[in-house]
Chains A and B, each alone.
Chain A
Amino acid sequence: MTMLKEGRPTAPQAVIEADGAPATATGNRALMLEEALIFEIGSTETTGVDFAQAPKVASRLGSLARTDSIGLPGLSEQETVRHYTRLSRQNYAIDLGLFPLGSCTMKHNPRLNEKVARMPGFADLHPLAPQSTVQGALAVIHELAAWLVTLTGMHSVAMSPKAGAHGELCGLLAIRAALEARGDARSVILVPESAHGTNPATAAFCGYKVEDIPATPDGRVDLEALKARLGPDVAAVMITNPNTCGLFERDMKTISDAVHAAGAFVYCDGANFNAIVGRVRPGDLGVDAMHINLHKTFSTPHGGGGPGSGPVVLSEALTPFAPLPFVEKQGNGFVLIEEETAQEHHGATFGRMVAFHGQMGMFTRALTYILSHGADGLRQVASDAVLNANYILRSLDDVLDAPFGGSGRACMRRCSATRGWPRALPRSISPKG
């Protein structure tokens, strides 16, 4: 399989003629409204916010008062609401319909999640507030962490990574710290050529040389080629499972055993965890580290490009190297383990990855989603996602050539967005009607 690495052309191939409709004075066409830039419609003298009068004081700004024009246009409140409402209508989104992306799990974003995240007890909480005043927040982190550990069959979870790629970084830093702790310098990370671009980028950032793992013609990791390449210079193998072609890596356990026998670690990209949650635990497959995209599997909104959240579940071997900070239950309360307390019991930690404790606003949403589904509902999610994906695959048999789905194999392509389908939709996109 050859990946397209050049991106697609953005220059127009040919100017497309308008549909023949007459030009309008505003540029608007029916309900499609043109919208200017704020820099064209706003003014530096306009504001949509009223403040109390500032008391008169002697300035303490020294010689640093800003006297230049900043150039920030303002709009009144109603102009602001119109501007952004109009712009919102130029987006496609999950709320408008199916989003069958090949590179990301897209699913319904429950509004209860939004309501919960906005409770003042979560939304209006300072990250450095005294721990006695944030016990409920620490409880949320602890409760979500327990779910993630149980659902994945792993040993622990690092909650602070801010997104999937940041989680990859967390996993590889833990692996590198573990190798260094045993005095075992290794230089290579093996990545399938179908892997998401963040995988090789992360490995390179951590100072590793990246080598491709070849794929078999049926779209999976070539086990024999992988085994042949393993050796004392290989630090880890990064595998996406279910993989980017939508297939479960059948040989995952054999791969893990071979990787471990060679003294290396298994990093799993959990971008497609949605398809197996409650049905397969990565811990049972020999995975050492896996990030979980809360904005994919656990329904926190994509927001047009973030914020994400990428907790990383870790095996027992990697747990001592987990990043700071983390939450521990002590007695009846919860304690945030930061730099000073870490020295006593967690001296092997590879350090801190973010200023504070991770994406709390995503934790509250993900926990709300998880509690809404429960153990039975989460398993049903994976079942329905895989059912939907295979139904689509079969429905498209006559019009598309499925490169890897032939010969009666089942796929696990990430069709979690289908969970948000109206029931009629599968029939409506089926070419056979």
Chain B
Amino acid sequence: MRYLPLTDTDRQDMLSVIGAASVDDLFVDVPAEARLSDKIAGLPDHASELAVERHMAALAGKNLSAGEAPFFLGAGAYKHHVPASVDHLIQRGEFLTAYTPYQPEIAQGTLQVLFEFQTQVARLLGCDVANASMYDGSTACWEAIGMARRITKRGKAILSSGLHPHYVSVANTMAKFTGDALEHKAPTLDAATDIDALIAGIDKDTSCVVVQYPDILGRIADLTPLADAAHAAGALLVAVVTEPVALGAIKAPGAMGADIVVGEGQSIGVGLQFGGPYLGLFACKQKYVRQMPGRLCGETVDAAGKRGFVLTLSTREQHIRREKATSNICTNSGLCALAFSIHMTLLGEKGLRELATLNHALACQAADRLAKVPGVKLLNDSFFNEFTLVLSKDARETVRNLADKGVLGGVSLGRLFPATPELGHGLVVAVTETVTADDIDTFAKALEEELA
């Protein structure tokens, strides 16, 4: 058992120091009927590193990974190239195996990273202040709804039909218990977003409007009129960004008046990982910072007057405020935040803009090519790196058939909105820098066969 450092001799020596005859004696506080006298039956015993690696590799081999196929999936998780140095650096033991930075004197590395990460996120999203991360975009989204309730003391949130349906589901789950009233409709297959309808729905009971940008169908629209309408009614605008690379090309939500901007940071540095761990981004205007959930790192000076970093405004948090905390979140996504921050440092503004430009250009080429396939109509007038196709057939079945041909051809709206059959022909297609001209061609030809 390679991870257990004690030998039987050590164990005997230690027992004699303790004054116990056996380890069993140390479990005397466990009621006798609940004490297991031997290992649990029916489970395998320990295995060699080689055997375990083979077992896991066999399971990994049963999956078709994104890199093995022409790949066009998005809808909240995006395949981007992550530079090799990112993964190397996050595996340094001093980062990987460090504890949460409660003790600043032994965690200045993590704390400076978080301080830099927060500043990068705030600038990217166009906000004054960002926290040290949440679990993922969906949980950040419902935390934002709760934060808007605390700020406005109103309980009705209006969710855009363009918000990721899983984010809506998460918010609905939480609202059942917090008592928030959530208004939401499924999207329709229109080129325009639902911003006009959202504006019309705002009233004096509205705590916030939650709008995704770009939205689940890849559509983008100026949020300024929505922010103005929300503010005029005393409500907040919460913007949700599931593809942060987009903000290298399009205006930041904060710059258009959003009060709280949350997002999924997976796109930068983190990788697909079948849905987790991901990275919740959370930023807001300075005046709302005391209602923010989660950890916040700030700059200070140490006893010798030198710059240092500490967790700050902790009186919002559960470890101090217990039942009066702004959230129950404790562990967040520290290592994913590190990966994001390293990748963003490698990119810099220049690299981010180039990456965004490349994504957009390839997406435009793919949209034009796919729209030429008989039975395919491009829904969007505008988009960043993701758009919706309306097919002549059920898209869910099409996606399955494409997978059988070795093409991972987008996410069907049928999978995302199973209760809305009118969306069944919709297919959301994402195109990043990892897509080649050959991939686009292969996808178009397979789709043509499928729709023929």
Please provide the chain A residues from 95 to 145 with a CB less than 8 Å away from any CB of chain B in the complex.
95-96, 99, 101, 104, 106, 108-110, 112, 114-130, 132-137, 139-140, 143
Specify which chain A residues have a CB less than 8 angstroms from the CB of B106 in the assembled complex.
Answer: 91-92
The residue that B252 contacts in the complex, of A66, A308, A380, with Cβ under 8 A, is A66
Does B372 belong to the interface (CB within 8 Å)?
no
| Residue contact B14 to A426, C-beta cutoff 8 Å | yes
What 0/1 readout, one digit per residue, does chain A (312-333) give for beta carbons within 8 Å of chain B? 0000000000011000000000
Residues A210 and B34 in contact in the complex (CB < 8 Å), given A44-B350, A354-B170: no
A301 to chain B, nearest CB (A): 5
| Residue contact A394 to B17, C-beta cutoff 8 Å | yes
Specify which chain A residues have a CB less than 8 angstroms from the CB of B329 in the assembled complex.
Answer: 163, 165-166
| Residue contact A394 to B19, C-beta cutoff 8 Å | yes
| Residue contact B124 to A162, C-beta cutoff 8 Å | no
The residue that A125 contacts in the complex, of B100, B274, B303, B383, with Cβ under 8 A, is B274
**In the bound complex, what is the Cα–Cα distance between A29 and B378 (angstroms)?**
61
| Residue contact B65 to A301, C-beta cutoff 8 Å | no
Specify which chain A residues have a CB less than 8 angstroms from the CB of B45 in the assembled complex.
Answer: 374-377
Specify which chain B residues have a CB less than 8 angstroms from the CB of A18 in the assembled complex.
Answer: 304
| Residue contact B415 to A49, C-beta cutoff 8 Å | no
Does B336 belong to the interface (CB within 8 Å)?
yes
| Residue contact A37 to B115, C-beta cutoff 8 Å | yes
Specify which chain B residues have a CB less than 8 angstroms from the CB of A339 in the assembled complex.
Answer: 169, 418-419
**In the bound complex, what is the Cα–Cα distance between A37 and B135 (angstroms)?**
26
The residue that A61 contacts in the complex, of B41, B249, B300, with Cβ under 8 A, is B249
B residues contacting the other copy or chain, number (CB 8 A): 195
| Residue contact B277 to A122, C-beta cutoff 8 Å | no
**In the bound complex, what is the Cα–Cα distance between A38 and B340 (angstroms)?**
14
A residues contacting the other copy or chain, number (CB 8 A): 191
B344 to chain A, nearest CB (A): 6
Does A182 belong to the interface (CB within 8 Å)?
no
Q: Shortest 4 CB-CB distances between A and B: which pairs? A: A74-B348, A356-B275, A121-B60, A303-B335
| Residue contact A112 to B53, C-beta cutoff 8 Å | yes
Question: Could you write out 20 A-B pairs with CB less than 8 Å apart?
Answer: A37-B112, A43-B348, A48-B85, A57-B364, A61-B382, A84-B92, A91-B94, A93-B94, A106-B99, A126-B272, A126-B408, A163-B332, A205-B177, A205-B178, A303-B96, A304-B95, A305-B132, A307-B276, A355-B275, A373-B3
Among A221-229, A260-268, A381-389, the stretch in contact with B: A381-389
**In the bound complex, what is the Cα–Cα distance between A209 and B61 (angstroms)?**
49
Specify which chain B residues have a CB less than 8 angstroms from the CB of A356 in the assembled complex.
Answer: 76-77, 136, 166, 274-276, 278
| Residue contact B347 to A74, C-beta cutoff 8 Å | yes
Does B215 belong to the interface (CB within 8 Å)?
no
Specify which chain B residues have a CB less than 8 angstroms from the CB of A406 in the assembled complex.
Answer: none
| Residue contact B68 to A168, C-beta cutoff 8 Å | no
| Residue contact A124 to B66, C-beta cutoff 8 Å | yes
| Residue contact A163 to B23, C-beta cutoff 8 Å | no
Does A274 belong to the interface (CB within 8 Å)?
no
| Residue contact A305 to B110, C-beta cutoff 8 Å | yes
Specify which chain A residues have a CB less than 8 angstroms from the CB of B15 in the assembled complex.
Answer: 387
Please provide the chain A residues from 26 to 57 with a CB less than 8 Å away from any CB of chain B in the complex.
35, 37-39, 42-49, 51-52, 54-57
| Residue contact A62 to B99, C-beta cutoff 8 Å | no
| Residue contact B333 to A307, C-beta cutoff 8 Å | yes
The residue that A423 contacts in the complex, of B10, B23, B272, with Cβ under 8 A, is B10
Q: Max chain A CB contacts within 10 Å: which of B42, B295, B333?
A: B333
**In the bound complex, what is the Cα–Cα distance between A12 and B335 (angstroms)?**
29
| Residue contact B170 to A128, C-beta cutoff 8 Å | no
The residue that B346 contacts in the complex, of A77, A127, A377, A390, with Cβ under 8 A, is A77
Does A157 belong to the interface (CB within 8 Å)?
no
Which chain A residue lies CB-closest to B410?
A128
| Residue contact A125 to B66, C-beta cutoff 8 Å | yes
Q: Max chain A CB contacts within 10 Å: which of B44, B60, B120, B318?
A: B60
Query: How many contacting A-B pairs (Cβ < 8 A)?
Result: 655
| Residue contact A66 to B100, C-beta cutoff 8 Å | no
The residue that B36 contacts in the complex, of A125, A279, A351, A421, with Cβ under 8 A, is A279
Which chain B residue lies CB-closest to A84?
B89
The residue that A129 contacts in the complex, of B52, B73, B323, with Cβ under 8 A, is B73
The residue that B318 contacts in the complex, of A70, A115, A150, A198, with Cβ under 8 A, is A198
Please provide the chain B residues from 233 to 283 with a CB less than 8 Å away from any CB of chain A in the complex.
247-252, 255, 264, 271-278
Residues A126 and B4 in contact in the complex (CB < 8 Å), given A304-B95, A410-B26: no
Which chain A residue lies CB-closest to B396?
A130
Does A248 belong to the interface (CB within 8 Å)?
yes
Please provide the chain A residues from 223 to 240 with a CB less than 8 Å away from any CB of chain B in the complex.
none
Does A337 belong to the interface (CB within 8 Å)?
no
Does B39 belong to the interface (CB within 8 Å)?
yes
Please provide the chain A residues from 154 to 206 with a CB less than 8 Å away from any CB of chain B in the complex.
162-166, 168-169, 173, 176, 196-198, 200-206
| Residue contact B49 to A410, C-beta cutoff 8 Å | no
Please provide the chain B residues from 1 to 46 with a CB less than 8 Å away from any CB of chain A in the complex.
1-7, 10-11, 14-15, 17-20, 23, 25-31, 33-36, 38-46
| Residue contact B342 to A80, C-beta cutoff 8 Å | yes
Specify which chain B residues have a CB less than 8 angstroms from the CB of A359 in the assembled complex.
Answer: 276-277
| Residue contact A162 to B325, C-beta cutoff 8 Å | no
**In the bound complex, what is the Cα–Cα distance between A308 and B125 (angstroms)?**
25
Specify which chain A residues have a CB less than 8 angstroms from the CB of B23 in the assembled complex.
Answer: 383, 386-387
Residues A70 and B3 in contact in the complex (CB < 8 Å), given A90-B112, A165-B331: no
Among B152-160, B201-209, B353-361, the stretch in contact with A: B353-361
| Residue contact B382 to A127, C-beta cutoff 8 Å | no
Specify which chain B residues have a CB less than 8 angstroms from the CB of A93 in the assembled complex.
Answer: 93-99
Which chain A residue lies CB-closest to B56?
A116
| Residue contact B63 to A133, C-beta cutoff 8 Å | yes
Residues A130 and B399 in contact in the complex (CB < 8 Å), given A15-B303, A88-B92, A93-B93: yes
Does B321 belong to the interface (CB within 8 Å)?
yes
**In the bound complex, what is the Cα–Cα distance between A64 and B350 (angstroms)?**
18
The residue that A355 contacts in the complex, of B60, B132, B136, B344, with Cβ under 8 A, is B136
**In the bound complex, what is the Cα–Cα distance between A69 and B3 (angstroms)?**
51
Which chain B residue lies CB-closest to A286?
B34
**In the bound complex, what is the Cα–Cα distance between A203 and B177 (angstroms)?**
11
B237 to chain A, nearest CB (A): 16
Residues A410 and B27 in contact in the complex (CB < 8 Å), given A65-B250, A123-B272, A355-B136: yes
The residue that A15 contacts in the complex, of B36, B304, B400, with Cβ under 8 A, is B304
Specify which chain B residues have a CB less than 8 angstroms from the CB of A120 in the assembled complex.
Answer: 60, 65, 67-68
| Residue contact A108 to B3, C-beta cutoff 8 Å | yes
**In the bound complex, what is the Cα–Cα distance between A58 and B350 (angstroms)?**
21
